[in-house]
Amino acid sequence: MAVQLALIGLISFTVTSGERLSVSGNHFLFKGEKVFLSGGNLPWIHYGYDFGNNQWSSVKSQVASQMKMLKDAGGNSLRLWVHIQAESTPQFDTNGYVIATDRQGTFIGDFKDMLNLAQSYDILVIPTLWNAAVDQDRSHRLDGIIVDSRKLQSYIRVVLTPLVREVKGHPALAAWDIINEPEGMLKVGEYNADPCFDTVKLRNSGAGWAGKKYSYQQLLRFISWQADAIKQEDPEALVTVGVWNPKSNTDRFNMADHYSDNCLKKAGQKSLHNWADYGTNKPIVVGEFWKEAGGGMTTNQLFDYVYRHGYSGAWSWDLVGKGADQRGGISHINNYIGNGKIHIDL
């Protein structure tokens, strides 16, 4: 299961409004108080078909139900997926360039309505734009914007920048998660003199399970260009990436932190804007976990462990498929305060 690690490009970040989620050292602040993000992955109702093309209206009530149950359990945040592998959004031309948010023009409105819904339940949302954990990109749309910088720029210009402009400052928007588990499609075992791009240490690690398609230069450029575009439009925004395992996100244990600001800047040639075991100075959220792979621990014990061991958040997998059990874990830590408050009012 993935581990959500290390928000990127945030070291020099300053909040002026005080009403948005922000970063202070290796923890989160909300309205001036340290908070712990407790919740789960929604992550979709219909995989790749929840937003745009008038699709949101058919799933809104189910999302609302999940948000209400999460709030009632004492949770404060959730992670949900947006484009995934471009199954229905954005809209491409025959050459693989992005030409519209979606065919029917509802995508941005759908996204805004989802945030408004989350605000009504005091839920912070972390939208995950893309997914590399499963390869069903038969049309090569996601593939195109990863390998071709011109196609990536078409997505940024036509979709990402207008979307960020429309929703920046929204109280329910916690952070942008660029891609889930990019290591799923990573080429492993490739030597590079630069540790940022070398994947020899990841040989036999399990990375590349969805197809060894992309170098770290390509994946990090893909991430850094989108992070930079978000920051250009909304300098206060938080941006993260959902890595699969700490093996790719720490300089400890004879590994390399491929997602450091330094590596992202090298790969993207973008300036960006600028816990302890992993050697990072940014918040760490355990972004996917469940008791089936929890080392014999119950869901309550897993939530308890994450809260009490210095992490900044816990999002179980997943609220739709295993919600009852996971909401029990969320309720279990509802009143904890030692590592940040959980109850928030948007």
Residue numbers annotated as active site = 181, 288
Q: Which two tokens stand for residue 77?
A: 């945040």
Tokens (6 digits) for 222: 């893909």
Decide: helix, strand or coil at residue 6: strand
Q: How far from each other are the two terminal CA atoms of the chain, in whole angstroms?
A: 30
Residue 306 carries which side chain, given as an amino acid letter? V
Pair 76, 122: CB distance under 8 Å: yes
Rounded to whole angstroms, the Cα distance separating 187 from 199 reads 7
The CA distance from 341 to 336, in Å, is 7
User: What is the β-pairing status of strands 124-131 and 98-100?
Assistant: unpaired
Tally of CB atoms within 10 A around 47: 14
Q: Are 80 and 127 in contact (CB under 8 A)?
A: yes
Structure tokens at 227: 């992070």
Residue 262 burial (CB count, 10 A): 11
Nearest to 177 by CA among 112, 115, 250, 237: 237
Cα(229)–Cα(233) distance, rounded to whole angstroms?
A: 6
Which residues have CB under 8 Å from 68's CB, separation 6+? 121
